[in-house]
Homo-oligomer: A and B are copies of this chain.
C-alpha cells in the first residue's frame, strides 16, 4: 500500500502521521518542537519522526512523499518557509533540507491551508465543491478550497481574516492594528477578555477558580465550563466571540461564496456555545441567496486535520508534478 506522511509543525509541538489515501491515520507521533535549538535541529527531529512513523506503519506500506504544514508565510513552489515568528524561521529551505535527510520528495505549505485542505478532502467538507475553513486558536485564519484546489492569492497571503477590523472592538492587536477580530474572538482573545474583566474586579465563577497568578492558567475550556454553569461573564465573552466570527464570516461568504464553512482550531471545542451565536449572526448578515444552502460545520478531525491535510496535499502535489 502506498501512503504519505503529514507533519504539522507548531510553535509548541510537532505531530507527524502516516496517512492512507482515504485520510485514515495509520500511525502518529508527537514531540515538543524545541524551536530554540534552531531550524537544523528541528529538521533533524522531524526526520527522526518521519522514520519512526514509517516504521510504525508496518512492513506492507511504501511512503511516497511527505507534506509539512508550517505556520506563517510559506512559499510552496520554492519549498521555503519565508517567515514563521513562533519558530523564529526566516527563509528556511525546508523541502530541500528535509528531503536530503529522509530521501523522499517533500512539499510544504501554510499550516492553516493544510488543515483546511484535510477537512475539505477527508473531513467535514468532504463532498462539497466550495469549502471555506476557519481555525479559531491563538489567532484566527481561513483557507479556501474550490474543486479540490487551494486558493492562494498574491504571495499566498490570502485568508488573514483574523485581522479584519470589527465594529465595537478597540483592543490593540499584536500585529499593531486596532480592533482585529482575533483580539477578542480567538481562543486566546476570549481568555484575555476574561482575564481583563477579572482583574477589573468583575464577579464570576472564574474569579473563584482563578485569581492572582492563577489567572495565567485559565484556558478557553475553563470559559466553556463556566458558561455551562450559567456564568454571565463566560457566556458574554463566548457569545460575543461567536457573533463577531459570524459577522466576519458573513463578509467572507459574500466575497467568496462557499457552500460550507468548516470551523476548527481550539476555539471550535466550545462547540454550540460558540457556533449557535456564530450561525445566527452569519445567517442574518448575508443576502437571501447565500442563506439558502450554506452549511456551518465543526471540523471532523480537529486534532489530526493538519497531518491528514499535509499528507494528502503531498500525495496530490506528487501526482500533479
Contact = CB atoms under 8 A, between A and B. Distances in A.
> Can you tell how many copies of this chain the complex includes?
2
Contacts of A25: none
Interface in A149-184: 151-161, 163-165, 167-168, 175-177
Contacts of A289: 73, 155, 157
Contacts of A258: 153-154
Contact of A164 (B177, B254, B256, B288): B254
A176 B161 CA distance: 26
A159 B288 CA distance: 15
Interface range for A: 35 or more
Interface stretch (A12-20, A200-208, A226-234, A244-252): A244-252
A129 B155 CA distance: 10
A293 B255 contact: no
Nearest to A73: B289
Given A73-B289, A289-B73, A158 B256 contact: yes
B287 A255 contact: no
B259 A177 contact: no
A130 interface: yes
Given A154-B293, A293-B154, A255 B285 contact: no
A129 B154 CA distance: 7
A142 B142 CA distance: 20
A21 interface: no
Nearest to A141: B254
A88 B211 CA distance: 64
Interface of A: 73, 129-130, 142, 146, 151-161, 163-165, 167-168, 175-177, 247-248, 250-252, 254-259, 285-290, 293
Given A146-B152, A251-B252, A255-B255, 4 more contacts: A154-B293, A155-B257, A158-B255, A251-B251
